[in-house]
Amino acid sequence: MCATCGCTVDEHDHEHPHDDGRTVTLQQKILAKNDDLAQRNREWLRERGVLAINLMSSPGSGKTTLLERTSEDLAGKLALSVIEGDQETDLDADRIRSAGCEVVQINTGAGCHLDAAMVARALRTLDPPAGSAVVIENVGNLVCPALFDLGETARVVLASVTEGTDKPLKYPQMFRSADLVVITKTDLGPYVNFDPARFGEYVGQVSPRAITISLSAVTGSGMASWSGWLAGMVPAPAH
């Protein structure tokens, strides 16, 4: 098993420690190699004037539904492509493609996150145009994806009202890394025990710099705030 994320060694071509005393060193080596590749991704994107968003959440928080609605809302305004990360199947990729996006599917098998090498290959397949946005829909997981820099411009963490108010406190590493926290499925708010004010306080305790917005991709409420933030993050054209 991988000392960093619990994946089997052959999934990521990781070394395997011979004793527990090497675990920390191995983690550092894995992350250092990934960070180097992530920086190359970041430079590749910057040179082309492309925005990259690392979209993370637990399973079922509404990442794919949000991307479907975003593609429809921004059609003709912002070119959007997606790197879709799932352990198995291409069901979500098919949904996003039907909404009008260019999509590259990455299946990780038993792997619990995407890494910079996977994203590098996907970016070259997508070949996104200047002034466009690439959303990397990470594998549904609130632990391992937080550790791996993919070369993204910004990190967005989704949390649905159905997951409870205390998510930022239970998964601080994930929320601490967020530039934007999106509360999703607000249309279900009247039917669940979710306190948005307290959730916002918890986000502030963990990550004071993070912005928080609320939306429903089903009703469209709050979507303008999300679309405006996304469009505002796209790099200005090079002169």
pLDDT at 12: 46
Query: Can you give the three-state secondary structure of 22-46, one letter per residue?
Result: HHHHHHHHHHHHHHHHHHHHHHHHH
Note the pLDDT of residue 23. 61
Interior/surface letters 211-230, b for 16+ CB within 10 angstroms, e for the rest: ebbbbbbeeeebbeebbebb
DSSP sequence for 136-177:
EE--S-SSGGGG---S-SEEEEEEEGGG-TTHHHHSHHHHHT
What pLDDT is stored for residue 205 in this prediction? 97
- Band the pLDDT of 11: cuts 50, 70, 90: very low
Rounded Cα distance between 202 and 166, Å, is 7
pLDDT (0 to 100) of residue 27:
65
pLDDT at 10: 39
Looking at residues 172-181, what average pLDDT do you find? 97
pLDDT surpassing 70 at residue 223: yes
pLDDT band at residue 5 using 50, 70 and 90 as cut-offs: low
Listed by start position, the domains of the chain span 9-233
Element (H or E) spanning 230, and its range? helix 223-233
- Looking at the chain, the whole-number percentage of residues with pLDDT higher than 90 is 84
pLDDT in tens, 66-91: 999 999 999 999 999 999 999 999 99
Give the model's confidence band at 20: pLDDT under 50 very low, under 70 low, under 90 confident, else very high.
low
According to the CATH classification, is domain 9-233 in 3.40.50.300? yes
Residue pair 49/77 in contact (Cβ under 8 Å)? The answer is no
What residue type is assigned to position 125 of the chain? T
Output the pLDDT for position 35: 96
Examine the pLDDT at 239 and tell me if it is beyond 60: no
Q: Phi/psi at 174 (nearest 5 deg)?
A: -65, -50
Quick: pLDDT tens for 26-41. 667 778 999 999 999 9
User: Per-residue pLDDT for 2 more than 80?
Assistant: no
The answer to whether the predicted template modeling score (pTM) of the entire model surpasses 0.85 is yes
Q: How far apart are CA 20 and CA 22, in angstroms?
A: 5
Radius of gyration of the chain (CA): 18
Q: Residue 189, class by beta-carbon neighbours within 10 Å (0-12 exposed, 13-18 middle, 19+ buried)? A: middle
